[in-house]
Each structure stands twice: as C-alpha cells, then as structure tokens.
C-alpha cells in the first residue's frame, strides 16, 4: 500500500490523533515500546539533517525517514516518509507520506500536554511562529481548551496568519505573551524567542522548536521558572538545548498520561512541555491511517482534509 500526501490528508483527523498520542506516550513511558533515540545525519553544506526514527509498539513496526532543512524558503522545512512492516514476518505493509503526519501528531502531542498541564480555565493562547505548526497547534489546542483570545507573532507572516485564521496579530513576541495562559513556541530559531519576564503565573508553555543540543527557544529565566516535562528523558538530554540548560526534568508527559506522575499541581506554577518528537508517535499515527485505509474508511465529505514547520 502506498499513500501519498493527499491520501493521508483525507484520512488524518486531529480529534482521532490526540487520543492515539495519549496512548502512545503512556506506552512509551511505561516501557512497552522499543525505540532508540533517533539518528541524525548532518548535511552541513546545505544546513540540513536526515533523521532515522524506528519504533516497535507491539502492534506496529515501522520507521520514519525525515529530512529537516530549517532554512528552506518556499518549500516545507520537513519532508518525510513512513514505512510500516508486518511485526510477525517483517513483510512491508505500507509506505506513506510523513509530512502531514509529522505536523499533526506534533500538535496532537502538545494537546495531550496542554490537557494535563494547562489550567482548566486557560483562555488566552499565544503562538510564537506562523508556519504550519502554528496552524496545526491552533486546531489541536482548541480541542482541549476554550480560548476567548488568540494572538500570533512572527517576524514575517503574523498578519497574514491572523487574517487567515481570524486571530490577532501581535506587534512583538512580548505583546503576544503578556497575559497568555498557554504559549506555543514553534520556530526555527536557534536563539531564545521567549523570555521569562513576560510570563504570567500559571502559564503553560509548549516548546516545539530548537531540536538540536546547541539551539535554544527559551531563555534561562523561563527554564528557572518552569516545571519541565518532556516526551523522552533520553532524547531531551541528548537533543534539546533548552532541557540541557534546564538541567532537570520533572516527568515525561507519558508518565502523566498514565497517572504515574502528577501534572499541574497549583494554579500559580509555570509548566513547560518540551517536545522533540518520537518515532512511536509517527508509527502509531501511521498505523491508525493504515487501518483506516485498509478498511476502506474515507474522510467525511463535509470535513476538510488536513492542510497543514517545526516538530520532527
């Protein structure tokens, strides 16, 4: 079975991916998933990377190949292919486009984190970045919280994004963040774009960019104020400049999803979820798509297909 981007988009539904990610993260943190830290091959002369991300969930066996070129202009920063194999025999089952899956599962994981870590009454959302991850996070987070106000800031496309999505374009990152209850940093920046002095008590942050050990999206004050949650301790300590600088991880979000560790513990605390992206997220989402395709399940005609930069 070969599913191109259009076929994947017809079958991909955020409201289905969020609970799939909740289960996948709990299984990962519970030791039910076989998954090494991804291998990243630098392509230095073109400022890109090629990643290999395999996982075995017990029911699904697969790998994602992802090309990450953060300096791309006019084409996506991520291109990916996901391969699924029959666990019992190793026979190939499916090859499918992984670009949309990467975008949607990344936002769905942030939605899981937001469900457990943001205040229940969170009503102001700030998006730092205006690429496809801002788009998909807006969709996903609206499924777990009700926002009366959404602000977006980026150096280039904030006004265009705001017009497209009916939200407010802020004049600066600080203007977007001041007073926000939930903050998303989804940028390709290698230096901090979020400062702790802007944060309100009780804020929750989903940090999606800066997937390299020498990159940062968050300044030291943000890290000092925050209780830090990650998708994978092992990966975060190897790949995330922000987590390396923080020096302390409270829990994996899968531990929270499984009830093994607490989520938000007070109205005033600042929580931070650092997302790097795990192979299990891709393989579990690909399995969902494969089963729907094999069963001949088509997307409802009255539902738009996903048309959604950051997140690996």
CA 26, CA 55: separation in Å to the nearest integer? Answer: 15
CA 45, CA 199: separation in Å to the nearest integer? Answer: 38
Local confidence band at 76 (pLDDT 50, 70, 90 cut-offs): confident
Q: pLDDT at position 312, please?
A: 62
Per the CB < 8 A criterion, the answer to whether 312 and 78 are in contact is yes
Query: Quick check: 299 pLDDT over 50?
Result: no
Q: pLDDT at position 305, please?
A: 35
Q: pLDDT at position 209, please?
A: 87
Q: pLDDT at position 309, please?
A: 44
78-128 confidence digits (pLDDT tens): 889 999 999 999 999 999 999 999 999 999 999 999 999 999 999 999 999
Whether domain 2-102+279-294 has CATH 3.30.1780.10: the reply is yes
Query: Quick check: 298 pLDDT over 60?
Result: no
pTM: 0.89
Q: pLDDT at position 223, please?
A: 95
Local confidence band at 148 (pLDDT 50, 70, 90 cut-offs): very high
CA 232, CA 25: separation in Å to the nearest integer? Answer: 9
Local confidence band at 311 (pLDDT 50, 70, 90 cut-offs): low
The domain spans of the chain are: 2-102+279-294, 119-274
Q: Which SS3 state, helix, strand or coil, does residue 48 take?
A: strand
Q: pLDDT at position 75, please?
A: 86
Q: What is the CATH architecture assignment of 119-274?
A: 3-Layer(aba) Sandwich (3.40)
Q: pLDDT at position 195, please?
A: 96
Local confidence band at 190 (pLDDT 50, 70, 90 cut-offs): confident
Query: Quick check: 307 pLDDT over 80?
Result: no
Say which residues have a Cβ less than 8 Å from residue 47's Cβ, sequence separation at least 6. 69, 70, 71
Average pLDDT score over the chain: 92
Query: Quick check: 74 pLDDT over 90?
Result: no
Q: Mean pLDDT, to the nearest integer, of 222-241?
A: 94
Residue 201 burial (CB count, 10 A): 10
Domain 2-102+279-294 shares a fold with domain 119-274:
no
Percentage of residues in the chain with pLDDT exceeding 90?
A: 81
């Amino acid at each position: 079975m070969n599913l191109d981007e259009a076929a994947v988009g017809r079958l991909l539904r955020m409201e289905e991916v969020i609970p799939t990610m909740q289960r996948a993260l709990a299984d990962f943190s519970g030791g039910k998933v076989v998954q090494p830290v991804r291998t990243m091959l630098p392509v230095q002369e073109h400022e890109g990377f090629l990643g290999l991300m395999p996982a075995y969930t017990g029911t699904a066996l697969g790998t994602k190949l992802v090309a990450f070129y953060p300096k791309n202009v006019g084409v996506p920063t991520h291109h990916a292919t996901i391969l699924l194999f029959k666990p019992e025999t190793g026979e190939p089952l499916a090859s499918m486009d992984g670009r949309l899956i990467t975008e949607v599962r990344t936002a769905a994981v942030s939605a899981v984190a937001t469900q457990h870590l943001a205040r229940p009454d969170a009503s102001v959302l700030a998006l730092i970045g205006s690429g496809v991850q801002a788009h998909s996070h807006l969709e996903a987070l609206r499924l777990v919280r009700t926002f009366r106000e959404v602000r977006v800031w980026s150096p280039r496309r904030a006004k265009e994004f705001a017009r497209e999505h009916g939200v407010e374009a802020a004049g600066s990152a600080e203007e977007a963040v001041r007073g926000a209850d939930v903050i998303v940093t989804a940028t390709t920046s290698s230096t901090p774009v979020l400062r702790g002095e802007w944060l309100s008590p009780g804020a929750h942050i989903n940090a999606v960019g800066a997937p390299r050990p020498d990159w940062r999206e968050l300044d030291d004050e943000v890290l000092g104020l925050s209780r830090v949650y990650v998708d994978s301790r092992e990966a975060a300590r190897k790949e995330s400049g922000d987590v390396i600088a923080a020096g302390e991880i409270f829990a994996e979000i899968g531990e929270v999803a499984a009830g093994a560790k607490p989520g938000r513990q007070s109205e005033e605390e600042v929580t931070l979820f650092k997302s790097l992206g795990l192979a299990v997220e891709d393989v579990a989402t690909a399995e969902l798509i494969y089963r729907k395709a094999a069963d001949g399940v088509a997307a409802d005609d009255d539902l738009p297909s996903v048309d959604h930069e950051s997140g690996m």
